[in-house]
Structure 1
């Protein structure tokens, strides 16, 4: 299970999300697939993949790979963590 880091503030601008990690002073923007995946949190990589496959009508295996890659990237940046 993955969750957002408690120090991350989120601003919804309609077509994108702006994430600010208060502890690190970093900002990120998520749109399209990143936004859909973020909104599936907290959840497993499978939950995020399901949301991506549904929203973008992509192959479930590709959606799973994309979800895992996104989670790894967001975890490396400190904006998500394993619950």
Structure 2
């Protein structure tokens, strides 16, 4: 199960979802697929991949790889974490 860091500030900026970690003063932008995943948290990695595949018509393997890449980027920046 993955969950968002509750300290993260979130804002919509011209269609892009922007996340800011207040302790790090770093901003991170999410495109439409990233927004879909962020807004679905908390959820398991498998459930996120199913959501992405269903929403965008992606093959399961591609959806899993895309979800893993987004979650890794979020975790590296302290924006989300596995529980």
Distance of 1:52 and 1:14 partners within structure 2: 22
Aligned residues: 83
Aligned to 2:2: 2
Match of 1:59 in 2: 59
SS of residue paired to 2:9: strand
Q: Which residue of 2 aligns with 1:79?
A: 79
Return 5+ residue gaps in structure 2 as ranges: none
- When normalised by structure 1's length, the TM-score is 0.89
Q: TM-score, normalised by structure 2?
A: 0.89
**Aligned-residue CA RMSD (Å):** 1.3
Displaced runs of 4 or more, over 3 A = none
Partner of 2:41: 41
Instruction: Find the aligned partners of 1:53 and 1:38 in 2 and give their Cα distance.
Output: 15
Structure-2 separation of matches of 1:64 and 1:45: 8
